[in-house]
Each structure stands twice: as structure tokens, then as C-alpha cells.
Amino acid sequence: MLACSAMRREALGHAAGLCRGVASWSKFNPAAMSGSNPAQASNLVYGEWVQAEKTMAIPDPLNGEPFIQVPDTQLYEVEPFVASMKATPKSGMHNPFKQPERYLMWGDITARVAAEMRRPEVEDHFARLIQRTSPKSYAQASGEVRVTRKFLENFSGDQVRFLARGFSVPGDHPGQQSHGYRWPYGPVTLITPFNFPLEIPVLQMMGALYMGNKPLVHSDHKVCLVLEEFVRLLHHCGMSLTELDICNGRGATVNEIMAQGHPRNTLFTGSKGVAEKLARDFHGRIFLEDAGFDWKILGPDVHEFDYVAWQCDQDAYACSGQKCSAQSILFMHDNWVEAGLEKALAQRAATRKLEDLTVGPVLSVKTETMLAHKERLLQIPGARLLFGGEALTGHSIPERYGAIQPTAVFVPLSELLKEANFEVATKEIFGPFQVVTQYSDRDVPHVLEACERMEAHLTAAVVSNDARFVQHILGSTVNGTTYAGIRARTTGAPQNHWFGPAGDPRAAGIGTPEAIRLVWSTHREVIQDFGPVPHGLHLLQS
């Protein structure tokens, strides 16, 4: 309790003096949010910030006090959102033929927002707001803000218009030419999770807007303040209030809006169960970034031992393991085990503490669930606890959230591959939890078998400078974002590369022009045929 209080005083006290710099557009002060002074989130529809008849109280993840009031939009309140969605034409708000000047408009708005986010007080403001709603270390929170800002810088100026770049092909005769265009969907839906409350919604939302769509955005209610604050910054920088809608509330409400409004496309980031439900309900008109049981293979060549141990710890336990790209299973070659990697990982994990949020609340998995999973793994023959495996103590994190030490359970590869054990050994635990196993040179086919049998194919890493080994692993696996080389990781913010799963036609992407074109635009072919019309048409009859 004392450790949490000291951490909160440091974090919130530091933020108090910085909020004045963003007061012209900011609504929320992370230093002032408390049980006695809760922040009030809002919906946005038809260009107006509005409240719902009911609200739900969000508990502070560090002490359980209700510190946010979020609109609990009811089914009888969905009509304005449905009407807004239906009013959006299929041809979008703009396209290469209609209001193309809006591509330039978005480039200008984006440039202004990026410049605003470069101000230290604005970067700090968003970092502190992220910390308050989805607790993580300041380094992780501020890194999320910087990645978002770099994305915006990447798409400033003329870069939005370049997203709509098409192609042309010569025709069969004079006056004919075929043109391929990137075309908006029109009304779309964006549903985002809690773990990256700024980066994921902003990168996807801006991509949707750039391509000419009007999105209905639903951010996880635990962190919705972060999205609202960014949208208010967009308004401050010149965006019209009517460009997008925000609906807060429960999943059933958003589902009803979609059922009545018929969005032309949906991007969902979250659990696999919800993803599959949406795919069924909306006939596959959906892009997904769902589950992420992510593997890392340490090759036979041991180089940069300290760095690799540090990166493994970061990949597994930064943000308390609440990254869809978190290292879920680690395949250690015998050489790394002999070099003492298990001990090095345990030592690094032991330095994580609640005081600086290098480990903290787990917002989607309860403590007892994670501990029960540990016990189930330990029932596998030969399994052993490497480190962790206990609940955190000395805190006031509410029981609805999880709080455990960074944990690793060793499972022998031969046992992991058995049908009776594979499902439990590859179950994603969205918290500071990983499975570790060991392999030899002759076991490489068994390692690849494990990778083949996994259902989630988001991120992966092949840690080796052995080019032939790396090529063999890469050629036999499918993960959509795979890092290779001695500095390979599983977690990497998408500021300079594609990020997304593979092996599924619904697989989404984020962060790059290619990702934006894939998710937020469709292909339209226009064949221009202006003549001249040939004479002697009777000669052309077939």
C-alpha cells in the first residue's frame, strides 16, 4: 500500500504542473482524477459531445476507487449513431473523384497534431493519462506517445494523398485506358482494446479517415479518456466535429449499432472469441488483429548474452505482459541454457516492481486465473516453475484485476507437443506469464511442429546471426510480423514497419501505407473509353 501511494504521488504530482500547457483543448487532468473527483467521458455523434442516460463507474486500477464515469449507452439510445452511419455514403467522405482536396486537408491537420504532440508538456500529458488508465511504466507510456506522433509525422503534408495512389493500364484502342483506384468503404467501425489506448485507436482511426471513411470508434471503456482527449486535440487542430463518432458503452450496444447501421467494414483488435463472433455476424466484412500467442526461438549461436536476456525480459514482461505481441513461449537452444539464460531471466524479472509500474495491474485476467494456469502447467510431467508464480502483495489493486509476479514455467518440449498438453501450454495469458522450453539441434523439426500447430500467427522472433538457421525457420513459419537476427524481439512499436497477423484472409495491418490501404480502402477499377468511335460498325459485328 505504501509503495503504491509513493508511486502515485510521484506520477500524479509531476503531472499536475504540466497540464496547464494543454489547457486550451484538454478536458482531463490525470493528476486530479480520483474517487472524489471522477473524470466524465462523453459520446460524440453528429458533431456533438453528448452524455448517455446512464453511466458506469470505472475503478482506479491501483486502488479500486471509481475514478472515471463512462456513458453506459443503452440499446434505446443507439438511433443517432445508426442514423449517422446510414447517412454516410458508400463513396465515402472523399475519394479520387469527389472532394480530393480533403486528402490535403487531412495532411495539414495531421501536421498540426504532430507538431502539438512534439511539445514536451503534451507528450507528458498523454503519457500520464495512459498511466492512469492502463498502468505501465513511464518509459512504456511515453514510448506509445512518441510512436503515435511519429506515425502522424509520417502522414503529414502530401503523404495522405499518396495513400490513394492507383495505377493505369493502356487500353485496346485510342481513348481507352484502365485505372485502378483505392476507394473508401464509407461507413466503417473501429473497435480497440485497453492495452495501447492511444496508439492502436489513433493509428487505425487516422488511416480510416485518410482514405475517406467515416468511422464509428469504440475504445475499451477502461481507457476511453485517452481516445477522447486525442479527438479533442484533433478538433483543436482543425478537424470538423462531424468527421467521426465515438460510442462508449458495452459491447452489446455497439453490436446493435452495427447490426442496424450496416458498416461496410470493421477493424477489430481484441480477443479471438469476439473476433469470430463479429466475423459471423457481419458476414466476414471485417479485419482482425485478435489473439497473440507469440513465440521466440533462440538459435544455436550464443551472442550478446546480456542484451538477449534483457530483450527476452522486455518482450515477456513490459506492460505487465499486456501486449498482443508479448513473448508467450521461449524456445531456448541447449547452448543458451548452458550459458545460464534461465538464471539471467530470473534476475531481471526480480527487478520489476509495482512502485515504478514495471509490473502492475492486469486488466483482463484475474490473479486466481493466472495462478490456476500456473498450477495446471506444473501438472505436466517434467514441468517446473522457473521464477515468479506468486500474487503481488502490499497493494490495493482491486480483485477484478490481476496482480502477479513476472512468471515463467518450464515445460519439456516432448511433453508440450503431446495432444493432452499442447492446448494448455499454448493458451494465451494476457499478463506477465510465459512458457519456456528447451531444444537441441535434432529437435528443430519438433520446434517447427509446435509453431505450425499454434493458431495465432501475430508476432515471432528468431534470435540468431546464423543466416542458414534463420532462413530455415523463416521459410517454415507464417507469423505476420517476424523479427530475425541477434537483436530480434517480439514486441516492436509499428512506427517503421507493418504490424499484423498472417495466414488469415481477414488479417489486419497497422502502421504503414500498405496496412492503411489494405484495411481502410477497397479496389475500384474505372475504364475510361472516350473514343473516337470507329466507322463502319457493321464490320465489327461478331
Tell me which CATH code domain 42-290+513-522 carries: 3.40.605.10
Determine the number of helices (DSSP H) and then strands (DSSP E) in the chain: 19, 20
CATH code 3.40.605.10 region(s) in the chain:
42-290+513-522
Alpha helices in 427-537 (DSSP H): 444-453, 467-475, 513-520
What's the CA gap between 159 and 103, in Å, rounded? 9
Query: Between vectors from CA 418 to CA 412 and to CA 423, what angle results, nearest 5°?
Result: 95
Q: What pTM value is reported for the model?
A: 0.94
CA distance 126 to 29: 10
Kindly tell me if the per-residue pLDDT of 10 is higher than 80.
Answer: no
Asked about 324 being catalytic, the answer comes back as yes
Helix axes 138-154, 120-133, angle to 10 degrees: 120
CA nearest to 325, candidates 292, 358, 373, 353: 292
Report the pLDDT averaged over residues 225-240.
Answer: 98
Task: Report the mean per-residue pLDDT for the chain.
Answer: 94
Where are the CATH 3.40.309.10 domain residues in the chain?
294-484
In degrees, to the nearest 5, what angle opens at C-alpha 339 toward C-alphas 334 and 341?
85
Taking only the tens place, the pLDDT of each residue in 266-320 is 999 988 889 999 999 999 999 998 778 999 999 999 999 999 999 999 999 999 9
Whether CATH 3.90.550.10 fits 294-484: no
- Residue 53's φ and ψ, nearest 5 degrees, are -65, -35
CA atoms within 13 A on the CB side of 66: 8
Taking the CB of residue 518, how many other CB atoms lie within 10 A of it?
Answer: 18
Closest CA to 509 of 209, 292, 287: 287
What digits encode the pLDDT tens for the residues 510-534?
999 999 999 999 999 999 999 888 8
Joined together, the cell numbers standing for residue 188 give: 466503417
Which of 99-103, 413-417, 437-441, 491-495 is the least confident region? 491-495
What's the confidence (pLDDT) of residue 537? 62
Catalytic residue among 224, 312, 319, 324: 324
Three-state SS at 248: coil
Look up 423 and say whether it is catalytic.
Answer: no
Task: Measure the CA–CA gap between 209 and 211, rounded to whole angstroms.
Answer: 5
Catalytic residue among 243, 289, 342, 355: 289
Instruction: Assess whether pLDDT exceeds 90 at residue 187.
Output: yes
Confidence tier at 21 by pLDDT (50, 70, 90): low
- Please state which of the ranges 24-28, 65-69, 344-348 shows the lowest mean pLDDT: 24-28
